[in-house]
Amino acid sequence: MRVGIIGAGSIGLLFAAYLSQVFDVTVYTRSQEQANEIDLHGISLLNGTERTVAEVKALPITDWQGLERLTIIAVKQYQLFSIIERLKQTQTMPEYVLFLQNGMGHLKLLNDLKGNNLFVGSVEHGAQRENLHTVRHNGVSTTNVAVYKGDSEFLKWFTGAVSTVFPMTFQEEYFTMLKKKLIVNAMINPLTAILQVKNGVLVDNPFYYKLLQNLFREITAILNLEHPEEYWGQAIQICQKTADNHSSMLKDVEAKRQTEVDAILGYLLEEANRKGKKSPQLETLYYLIKGKESQWEVIT
Amino acid sequence: MRVGIIGAGSIGLLFAAYLSQVFDVTVYTRSQEQANEIDLHGISLLNGTERTVAEVKALPITDWQGLERLTIIAVKQYQLFSIIERLKQTQTMPEYVLFLQNGMGHLKLLNDLKGNNLFVGSVEHGAQRENLHTVRHNGVSTTNVAVYKGDSEFLKWFTGAVSTVFPMTFQEEYFTMLKKKLIVNAMINPLTAILQVKNGVLVDNPFYYKLLQNLFREITAILNLEHPEEYWGQAIQICQKTADNHSSMLKDVEAKRQTEVDAILGYLLEEANRKGKKSPQLETLYYLIKGKESQWEVIT
């Protein structure tokens, strides 16, 4: 089966490297330069001290025609808008599309698409792009996937087909799946990015732990969570499991790149606003990050 | 007249250098080493490219006997407790005592003192200690002083007597005076320390400006401010006037020293709690700073 992957950041390269062991993968890059690099060197996948090289076709995104049966959209949420426009304009909408964005802000964009089978995923791997054709897989976990609209048979088959090389977990219910990830992201990402600390520090430092508790209370109220203790437990566990990691937002801040704060906190602030709930803490964190971003020449 | 100054940080050295031009000043230091340095070199006062040296007596704080007519307490708020104990135990309580701490947390400690004439001051100078006997005066402004308890005649005379060398402004009402400074400190210090930016950035960056607005609204409610626009105007003006300065809390964070967050935000949080008001933003900033402090080996 042919698989197209749009986006060659850390997640796009990670998926391309693993999926190419099973499928015929083409990765679509933003720049011609990156496509050339990948054509020349393949994708280097670093796993601890081990390096494997995957031969993967690469083309600039402008050459994308939607010819692959499955297209995986691995761009950041704030880059999604232009991709959605491209999908709308294509003659041949791919049969299956899997969206891997963080947050939940992208869901409303999906309703505009004419595709019959739209899937969403939540990536729990840790990955870092080291150069245009090299990705480090530094936290092996899984990718949760669920049907947003359409056929679950294909997604179940796909999950099974890749599972020997790259764990993927079929989830029945996309909303809860994305909400869990959103809450974890909202708690860990902005604080680690503002404080410039690793994930584990948030639970080790009693003052930061207090911040997590207060923040979680605000999120619980906004989302009307019914069993908050499950979400809380999950967030704390992820902080502990990934104690030595830099969160994706911290990495963005360190590299002075645009962050995903709109996809994560922006979504929650919109929800709060829509429901007439207060969100002073989330708002404080939101403006701290937005202000930081606006201090740089943002690289998107 | 003999004047004793307890504390030889930036403010203590600044006051000692200027007041020694008019009075017989003894500065009391925490360490014998610093007393020796000041005895040996005098206090160097840097003003732009100009350097003047003041001959000042220096003794370690353990030698303090309260023999000077006026004692100026120039330690940080969190060091005040041990000084207050010393004042309580002295046989000869000084006739006049002037307290220069930030915030308003120290007021409740003053009621325990048997002194008849207690004054409070709010220093608006910018000063930085460059070594044990050198201070840079990098923002010339004034010191507001007011009577907390006792005789205003002496304080008015003192204000006039020093005014040719070191501006000092007599204020009728200590509470409003300290409240104004507290509000400015609460708005500027924690944000600049968390973001590691100069004061001016808070008003130049539209997202940080929004943070200031939200924060001010919370402070207004806690303190029941009657004419909030005056306080707001003052805070913004100070941000602009001191645009290139690092706030004292930012300097503390940069030097990994204990900050005055308890004197500033701690006081407001207590007020909020006492009045049953919400303070989610102040609390967020408070824990961010407390958490930072607890990550270092704090130097007091």
Please provide the DSSP assignment of B136-170 as one string. Answer: EEEE---EEEEEEES-HHHHHHHHHHHTTTS-EEE
Task: Kindly state the helix (H) or strand (E) to which residue B215 belongs, with its residue range.
Answer: helix B206-223
pLDDT 10s digits, B138-163: 888 899 999 999 999 999 999 999 99
At residue A19 the predicted structure's pLDDT band, cuts being 50, 70 and 90, is very high
Q: Are β-strands A43-47 and A134-139 bridged in parallel, bridged antiparallel, or unpaired?
A: parallel
Q: Which residue of A has its CA nearest to B290?
A: A207
pTM to 2 decimal places: 0.89
Residue with the two structure tokens 């010393």: B86
Q: Which residue of B has its CA nearest to A205?
A: B291
Report the Cα–Cα distance between both ends of chain A, in Å, rounded.
32
Query: Pick from A281, A292, A294: which is nearest to B280 by CB?
Result: A281
pLDDT 10s digits, A219-249: 999 999 989 999 999 999 999 988 999 999 9
Q: Do A205 and B283 touch (CB under 8 A)?
A: no
Q: In angstroms, rounded to a whole number, what is the distance separating the alpha carbons of residues A266 and A282?
A: 9
Q: Do B197 and A283 touch (CB under 8 A)?
A: no
In a 3-state reduction of DSSP, which class is residue A20?
A: coil
Ranges in chain B, pLDDT < 50? 300
Q: What is the nearest CA distance from A65 to chain B, expressed in angstroms? A: 40
Q: Do A207 and B287 touch (CB under 8 A)?
A: yes
Active-site residue, from A76, A180, A181, A251: A181
Which residues of chain B neighbour A281 with C-beta distances below 8 Å? Answer: 280-281, 284
Query: Pick from B195, B214, B294: which is nearest to A207 by CB?
Result: B294
At residue A297 the predicted structure's pLDDT band, cuts being 50, 70 and 90, is low
Q: Do B294 and A210 touch (CB under 8 A)?
A: no
Reported ipTM: the value is 0.87
Which residues of chain B neighbour A258 with C-beta distances below 8 Å? Answer: none
Q: Torsions phi, psi of B51, nearest 5?
A: -125, 125
Q: Do B208 and A280 touch (CB under 8 A)?
A: no
Query: Pick from B207, B278, B295: which is nearest to A205 by CB?
Result: B295
Count other Cβ atoms within 10 Å, centred on residue A33: 11
Residue type, B70: L
Count other Cβ atoms within 10 Å, centred on residue B139: 14
Distances (CA, A) of B244 to A34, B80, B136, B192: 41, 30, 15, 12
Q: Do B218 and A287 touch (CB under 8 A)?
A: no
Query: Pick from B214, B287, B292: which is nearest to A283 by CB?
Result: B214
Distances (CA, A) of A255 to A242, A249, A296: 20, 10, 10
Instruction: Output the six-digit token pair for B291.
Output: 């958490």
Q: Does the CA dihedral A28-A29-A31-A37 come out positive or negative?
A: negative
- Which of A288, A292, A296 would you mutate first to test chain B, the one with the most B CBs within 10 A? A288
pLDDT 10s digits, A93-127: 899 999 999 999 899 899 889 889 999 999 988 89
> Using the 8-state DSSP alphabet, how is residue A94 labeled?
-
Instruction: Output the six-digit token pair for B280.
Output: 């989610």
Which residues of chain B neighbour A285 with C-beta distances below 8 Å? Answer: 284
pLDDT 10s digits, A164-202: 999 999 999 999 999 999 999 999 999 999 999 999 999
Answer whether residue A300 shows pLDDT above 80.
no
Q: Are β-strands B57-60 and B50-54 bridged in parallel, bridged antiparallel, or unpaired?
A: unpaired
Q: In angstroms, rounded to a whole number, what is the distance separating the alpha carbons of residues B134 and B10?
A: 8
Which residues of chain B neighbour A283 with C-beta distances below 8 Å? Answer: 214
Q: In angstroms, rounded to a whole number, what is the distance separating the alpha carbons of residues B146 and B140?
A: 20
Would you please indicate which residues of B are annotated as catalytic (active-site) residues?
Answer: 181
Tell me the longest C-alpha to C-alpha distance in chain B.
56
Which residues of chain A neighbour B298 with C-beta distances below 8 Å? Answer: none
pLDDT of residue A92: 80
Query: Pick from B201, B207, B290: which is nearest to A290 by CB?
Result: B207
**Chain B residues contacting A, CB < 8 Å?**
194-195, 197, 201, 205-208, 210-211, 214, 218, 278, 280-281, 283-285, 287-288, 290-292, 294-295
Which residues of chain B neighbour A208 with C-beta distances below 8 Å? Answer: 287, 291
Q: Do B294 and A214 touch (CB under 8 A)?
A: no
> Using the 8-state DSSP alphabet, how is residue A61 labeled?
G
Asked if A151 contacts A116 with a C-beta cutoff of 8 angstroms, the reply is: yes
Listed in sequence order, the DSSP H helices in chain A are: 10-19, 32-41, 80-89, 107-110, 152-162, 174-195, 201-204, 206-223, 228-241, 248-254, 261, 267-274, 280-295
Q: In angstroms, rounded to a whole number, what is the distance separating the alpha carbons of residues A7 and A102?
A: 14
Q: Which residue of A has its CA nearest to B296?
A: A205
Angle at alpha carbon of residue B156, lines to B150 and B157, rounded to 5° = 110
Residue with the two structure tokens 């880059």: A79
